[in-house]
């Protein structure tokens, strides 16, 4: 069966990468397969997760390559070399330029830990999102999977799932709940949906 080839771009622990690998193993994702994991951080545990799953993993360091252009050229070379159809940003802490995102129009998706348009855009990432939600006093938060364009968190929405905020939540507790009840569910589902659409276009 023809499958979309997926690259997952990561910067840290790779819990969303693990959710995708698990979903592939359990059959939730059947129209695509992770063929490549790219990290901009050589110390990312996500690289170990990829190796443990038998997935090709590479580190491309922006610090070493000095410029955004050189960094993106190296990422593009790796994507092309591996015949990648779909790019998934899973906790990838590097903003991509318009020339990169327009090259892969509607082929890059990202998971964001809030219900966009709340708590999103420049500067909202990781725990900062949950800190802002708690500070605002919202009763419901969640996660959003969206296409990536040149505006941070600005692309069209693919899926959202709401998660209740509990009294006494800390940012860390809320982050964990959002991951377990939203991110790890809608990200694999969205990967499958877009993979199936990409195969149909082939």
141-174: pLDDT as tens digits: 999 999 999 898 999 999 999 999 999 999 999 9
In order of their start, the domains of the chain are 4-201 (3.40.50.170)
Residue tagged active-site, from 106, 112, 130, 146:
112
Residue, of 74 and 202, whose pLDDT is higher: 74
- The pLDDT assigned to 161 comes to 98
Distance between CA atoms of residues 41 and 38, nearest Å: 9
- Dihedral pair phi/psi, residue 8, rounded to 5°: -110, 125
Query: Is 112 a residue of the active site?
Result: yes
* pLDDT tens per residue across span 24-67: 999 999 999 999 999 999 999 999 999 999 999 999 999 899 99
pLDDT of 11 above 90: yes
- The pLDDT assigned to 58 comes to 97
Distance between CA atoms of residues 165 and 176, nearest Å: 12
Residue pair 22/186 in contact by the 8 Å Cβ criterion: no
| Helix residue spans in the chain (DSSP H) | 15-26, 45-52, 62-65, 68-81, 98-103, 127-136, 171-178, 184-201
- pTM passes above 0.75: yes
- The pLDDT assigned to 1 comes to 81
pLDDT of 100 above 80: yes
Residues 6+ apart with CB under 8 A from 21: 34, 49, 53, 55
DSSP helix/strand/coil, 109: strand
């Amino acid at each position: 069966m023809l499958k979309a080839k997926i690259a997952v771009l990561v910067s840290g622990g790779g819990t969303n990468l693990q959710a995708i690998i698990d979903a592939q193993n359990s059959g939730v994702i059947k129209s695509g397969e992770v063929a490549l994991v790219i990290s901009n951080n050589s110390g990312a545990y996500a690289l170990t997760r990829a190796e443990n799953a038998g997935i090709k993993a590479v580190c491309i360091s922006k610090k070493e390559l000095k410029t955004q252009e050189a960094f993106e050229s190296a990422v593009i070379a790796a994507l092309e070399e591996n015949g990648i159809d779909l790019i998934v940003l899973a906790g990838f802490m590097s903003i991509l330029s318009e020339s990169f995102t327009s090259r892969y129009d509607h082929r890059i998706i990202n998971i964001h830990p809030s219900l966009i348009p709340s708590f999103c855009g420049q500067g909202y990432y990781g725990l900062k999102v949950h800190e802002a939600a708690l500070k605002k006093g919202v009763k419901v938060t969640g996660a959003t999977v969206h296409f990536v364009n040149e505006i941070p968190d600005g692309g069209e929405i693919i899926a959202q799932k709401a998660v209740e905020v509990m009294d006494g939540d800390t940012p860390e507790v809320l982050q964990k709940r959002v991951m377990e009840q939203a991110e790890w569910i809608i990200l694999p589902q969205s990967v499958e949906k877009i993979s199936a659409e990409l195969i149909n276009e082939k």
